Amino acid sequence: MNGPSFAGASTQRHASVSSSSTNPQHRGSATNTNSSSLSSSSQHLNNGPDADASTSSLSSSATPPDYIAKPFTRINDRTYFRDPENPYPLPCDLPEIHRQSLRTLTLIRVFGAPFCAPQLKDKRPKKVLELACGSGLWSHACHDYFLEHDAGAAKSPKDSKKTTTSFTGLDIVPIAPDLRRKGINWHFVRHDIRKPSLPFPSEHFDFVFIKDAGLCQSATAQQMDLLGEPLRVLKRGGILEVWDSDHVFRALLPNPTPPPNLSKKDQNHADATATYTISSATPFAAAQNKYLLDYNSWIEKAFEKRKLTPMPCATIGLSFTTEADAFHNVGSRRVAIPLGAEVRWEQTSGRGKLNAEQLALRHTALTTTIQMIEGMELMLMEASGKSRDEWDRWWAAMTTDFLQKNGLANGECLEVGAWWGQKR
């Protein structure tokens, strides 16, 4: 599920994160993507009947609750799944939806489009499935992309009005607004992707897209059959594409060499966004920032307990390799987004001073990272063994280090990836 961030601590802490997210250049693009619909469609997550009264346990009732009819619980003023068998560690409320929306917009900017598969740029799919769709923001962005490019390539005004692509969003809870009101041929299906099969016939979709679903299934389930069902419902010749981000942070070492097979277009886009394309030869070191070192150790411990993988990018890449016989024209793209506005070794690399848009991109990547850590607060507190007062002191020191002291100047980065293949 594509959903939001953790606000279970002090007002001062929440204000510091909010104020760090106010760059008008980047936030403006987020507000123009149906934010009012997101707010209205997600109100029931915070106030509706599905959420129990505030509780300190996910399973406090002696009688087994109905997780389908009432999937949520309230803990420290945040909304979570109440099903103890569901490993998803993030909240499911409006702040987390906004965080996921910013992350989606960041990835679209980094990759240059709502998808990376080159086949889709010349042939628009008729039926698109977005798994773990959350707010439906990606489907909305993809629809707008197709519409804009159809209009640009149209031979007549009549051709530019053709909207033949239908979008189906699937998620465990109905967070997405009714995108039909925005002129999108949209259908929502409520379904738990942990179930053994998807509720669609075989060879039904031309394009299946999955983003940030690594936290929805255990690492074992991902390794066994991450792509099996998406491939089943995909037509022959159709495209399967998966995007995700790692949850453990590393430091990019100075002056990484671009991959030898990187196209000039992709290199120019990486230069324009001040990001770095990753290959197997890209040099990394362990994070040097002491707060990210703390976080890394806690997240690995917490995820091991929940049987989640902290580095889904490796798992996804392995899944595509395992299913190689099912694809032709397989491709991938890995990108590192530095979290520091000023990385020390960049000052002598010849890249030059970052412009406003490049700074906004890094600032947004950092903001979504801080909000993600905030969203996992209870789990990280448990893994660290910290009391509430100890955690609040650690949090205040971390945000000060990240936002005011340039503590991420050693090259710590957010690693994101996209993998795609065309079904044989």
Cα dihedral 292, 295, 301, 304, rounded to 10, equals: -80
Evaluate whether 353 touches 269 at the Cβ level (below 8 Å): no
The set of residues, in sequence order, having a beta carbon less than 8 Å from that of 162 and lying 6+ positions away, is 150
What pLDDT, on the 0 to 100 scale, is given for residue 68? Answer: 75
Count Cβ atoms below 10 Å from residue 212 Cβ, excluding itself.
23
Alpha helices by DSSP H, 259-355: 264-273, 290-306, 312-322
256 and 343 in contact (C-beta within 8 Å)? no
pLDDT for 198 = 95
Give yes or no for a contact between 252 and 414, defined as CB atoms under 8 angstroms apart.
no
Which of 3, 109, 70, 166 lies closest to 414 in space, CA to CA? 109
**What pLDDT sits at residue 197?**
93
Element (H, E) at 231: helix 228-232
Q: Which residues pair with 328 in a beta bridge?
A: 422
For the residues of 362-396, what is the DSSP string, one character each?
HHHHHHHHHHHHHHTHHHHHHHHT--HHHHHHHHH
Q: Is the dihedral of CA 418, 421, 422, 423 positive or negative?
A: negative
**Distance of alpha carbon 347 from alpha carbon 315, whole angstroms:** 34
pLDDT of residue 355: 95
Q: What pLDDT is attached to residue 151?
A: 57
Instruction: Tell me the C-alpha distance between 115 and 92, whole Å.
Output: 25
Q: Check residue 254 and give its pLDDT.
A: 94
> How confident is the prediction along the chain (424 residues), in pLDDT tens digits per residue?
543 332 333 334 443 444 444 343 333 333 344 444 444 444 445 444 445 544 433 444 456 667 778 888 999 889 998 888 888 999 999 999 999 999 999 999 999 999 999 999 888 999 999 999 999 999 999 999 999 987 555 555 555 455 589 999 999 989 899 999 999 999 999 999 888 899 999 999 999 999 998 888 765 555 457 899 999 999 999 999 999 999 999 999 998 999 988 999 999 999 999 999 999 999 999 999 999 999 999 999 999 999 999 999 999 999 999 999 999 889 999 999 999 998 999 988 777 789 999 999 999 999 999 999 999 999 999 999 999 999 999 999 999 999 999 999 999 999 999 999 999 9
- The strand pair at 127-131 and 205-211 is best described as parallel
Which sequence spans correspond to the domains of the chain? 11-423
